[in-house]
Structure 1
Amino acid sequence: MDACIEVEGLEKVFRVRRRTGRRLRRETSEVRAVDGITFSVPRGQVVGYIGPNGAGKSTTIKMLTGILTPGGGRLRVAGLDPARERTRLARRIGVVFGQRTTLWWDLPLRDSYALVRRMYRVPADRFRVNLDRCVELLGLADLLDVPVRQLSLGQRMRGDIAAALLHDPEVLYLDEPTIGLDVVSKARVRGFLRDLNAERGTTVLLTTHDLTDIEQLCERVMVIDHGRMMYDGALGGLHEVGESERTLVVDLERELPPISGVPGARTVRTEGPRQWLAFPASASAAPVVAAVAAHYPLVDLSVREPDIESVIAAMYAGRA
């Protein structure tokens, strides 16, 4: 597939000056925010770009948008060099930073959108179609005449997402797009982004701490820490890298000693007649169920899938 984003050996080093000692001397140190990252994103793919605070996610996105100049390496977005062709690139990308609005603080949403249209020179008919669609799907009809400063964080986030899409960008960068949203609004935004990708083939790079966003939207995930790529692949592959486990919850007829002798499984918890057995996420549950059923009086059982948050937390901690 044609690559929309190409990154090769990307680097960014910041020099930080700190005061030390009683004489308040200043020492200069280097912080490698991004350290030799390489990846490629095909057109139309939705990719999760995740990592702990300070991992280098925002720095990467700022280089991809042309806000920062790389210290080394090569990158292309929609065939353009972001640092050298920033103005041309701006017309082909959309950006939403969770804590920084692109809307005009004292203007109502309607006027902010009119200014966005003029900035990006969006044809009037196309602007009306895009605006009507965003207003309907993001639930903005009652907010169009409200000044941005009077909006809640969740309302403003929906307004920012709409503003980023009015000029039909090829690439959309989202930094915490569901922050401050309630459950219903989160579901609405996720559905909107899925439809956007399916109908228009928009390439999406999503940075978030809400891993439900990743599970419901992304076919691929990249995990970054200390400026380096820790994982790049399918979401399901995280469980293999993180050595995650599934859990078999067993309800017995009566309280018994911990279940033992089940190949590939171990008992991790007991509570009266209920016991929890862990086994590798990559393994089938059938042999484990069969072994338990053959030797123990069962009442009920269920299989729980591994929690992606615990898998990624283990990767952050260096246990993977």
Structure 2
Amino acid sequence: MIVVTAPTAKIGRHVVEQLLDAGERVRVVARDPRRLSPTVHDRVEIVEGSHREAAVVDKAFAGADAVFWLMPGDLRAPDVMTSYVESSRPGAEAVAAHGVRHVVGVSALGRGTAVADRAGNVTASLAMDDLFAAVTNYRSLANPSFMDNTLRDIRTILGDGVISGPLAPDRELPLVATRDIASTAARLLLDRDWTGFAEIPVLGPRDLSGNDMAAVITDVLGIPVRYVQVEAASLEAAMLSFGASPGMARAMADMATAKTRGLDEGVVRTAENSTPTTFRQWCEKVLRPAVDAARS
């Protein structure tokens, strides 16, 4: 039995589908089971509730062989350590109590870099990893920024022909599709011939700059799009406008600043840590349909 948390999120839903396709028994922890796709709902065991709650994870992890752990950020939390570490503590305690032998978690690049201790969400994610690594065999999926984050720019793409970010326009960094993160997670959950703690970098096929991304989007959508560099402070203000607490808004700005200072550049690219989906493929399969839907 494999337990999947956040099964309706971008990564989690793909993990569930791939595990089911492989013939695995799957149990999901879902706050709203109605959000599960009809093709999944009747093929999984469902524990209703939040995996932040001790009673929920205690029930969900009983008899489990492995767990996929994805802790979404909580904009209302007072700070990132509460959002990621304290919210994950009941999960780690349930893993230990039920003797779950393998956990795969969604985390971030940055461990070992000079800025990892002041990188907002990433700093908390690395501390969350340590929580699970202390009680079981654990694999941390060390991710850069997601291609899927570009979906947040649909309004400005259509309104102003702009995507934005904190990096210089020609600064290249790794970028990954959430579907590829899910595939890596599913592989590790299906083949549990591993022990101890390790980070698994998931880098995408090549590094890209903001200018590179804008050029691909322009070509795929057929409209001119350019990249604009923004200050980290503007990201903090945007998060506050979305209802984030001051601590969580500050953490987003800290993470953005850390990325400009080398947070995602501590891992050497190899064939093993380079995933297949290109940014162009992602734009064609995900961004273009989303843009078309926004236009209609």
Instruction: State TM-score, norm by structure 1.
Output: 0.28
Which is higher, the Rg of structure 1 or of structure 2?
A: 1
Higher normalized strand content (fraction of residues): 1
TM-score (norm 2): 0.30
Larger fraction in helix: 2
